[in-house]
Amino acid sequence: MNYENLLITTENNIATITINRPTKLNALNVATISDLNKAFKTLGKNDEIRAIILTGSGEKAFVAGADISEFAHFSIEEGTQLAAEGQEKLFDFIENLKTPVIAAVNGFALGGGLELAMACHFRVASENAKMGLPEVSLGVIPGYGGTQRLPQLIGKGRAMEMIMTAGMVTAQDAYRTGLVNHVVPEAELLDYCISVANKIIKNSPYAIGKAIKAVNANFKEGKNGYEAEIKAFGKCFGTEDFKEGTTAFLEKRKAVFTGK
């Protein structure tokens, strides 16, 4: 499938999605959000794809924000719909995808760009990366989950300060606060993400999908994370992956998982 604003490559069970709007610093417009939704849906249904890396084209930006020109004239109703549709189609969709998604933050990740990175299951940043939620400087607030996911990742106080000052943090600051898991030289970013993905894909895809669901349950209204974990744990016992994993352990060999 061809996408107007994305480049997609697959190799050794790992897919890499590159947002390709370099002249706009990969800013998220409606068309790009739609492309990303279709790409993640397609890859998420492909059992051969065990991990997905998301990054931006060029050396300046992961995603420098949302495309402000698209919504500067919106009404209250239109603004509400923009946030609701975007969260459902992309940000919540990525967070709940059973396939692990790693954000390779290769430059500016601002506004919707940082929100996109935070929707991924974890983040790796290049040394030149800078992150922030500058929405209040435009008279609006983060609308793609930023007010919810940032406090979950770095704590309420730090999140409040980042949102209210509209300031940017460096990759090292992001690492120190837990916003990103690793910081690496820019030239090594994708290779490092691939090395982490290779560790992931050695494990049971079924179990990883259930682990993602159980972890996310703790942050959902009305959900009991412990109960979700118990149910997911139990379901693993009925899978081929569980039989293979335990048998391989007892036979002192490496397991070969199918995701079933």
For 220, the domain range is 205-250
| Catalytic sites, residue numbers | 115, 135
Does a structural domain hold residue 255?
A: no
Q: Which helix (H) or strand (E) holds 50?
A: none
pTM for this structure? Answer: 0.96
Check whether residue 114 and residue 214 sit in a common domain. Answer: no
Q: 98 and 17 share a domain?
A: yes
pLDDT at 66: 87
H or E segment to which residue 68 belongs: none
One domain, residues 41 and 134: yes
Cα 11 to chain centroid distance, Å, stands at 19
Residue 69 has what DSSP assignment? G
In a domain, 260, yes or no: no
236 and 194 part of one domain:
no
127 and 234 together in one domain? no
Does 256 fall in a domain? no
Residues 170 and 79 in one domain: yes
C-beta of residue 124 within 8 angstroms of C-beta of residue 105? yes
DSSP-derived letter for residue 201 is T
Cβ neighbour number for residue 149 with a 10 Å cutoff: 21
Residue carrying the six token digits 């459902």: 88
* 189-205 pLDDT tens trace: 999 999 999 999 999 99
Q: What is the CATH number of the domain that holds 172?
A: 3.90.226.10
Q: Quick one: pLDDT at residue 257?
A: 96
In one letter, which amino acid is 138? L
Pair (225, 166) in one structural domain: no
pLDDT for the residue 2: 81
Q: How many domains does the chain have?
A: 2
The verdict on residue 105 lying in a domain is yes
Same domain, yes or no, for 195 and 212?
no
Which residues in the chain show pLDDT less than 70?
1
Coil, strand or helix: which one is 99? Answer: coil
Q: Which of 232, 234, 231, 259 has the alpha carbon at shortest distance from 245?
A: 259
pLDDT of residue 240: 96
Domain for residue 259, yes or no? no
Q: Taking the chain, what is the end-to-end CA distance rounded to the nearest angstrom?
A: 26
Q: How far apart are CA 155 and CA 133, in angstroms?
A: 15
Residues 117 and 131 occupy one common structural domain: yes
Please check whether residues 148 and 233 belong to one and the same domain: no
Residue 1: inside a domain: no
Residue-wise pLDDT for 43-88, tens only, equals 999 999 999 999 999 989 999 998 888 998 999 999 999 999 999 9
- What is the pLDDT, as a whole number, of residue 222? 87
pLDDT at 53: 98
Quick one: 82 and 186 in the same domain?
yes
Whether residue 154 sits in one domain with residue 65: yes
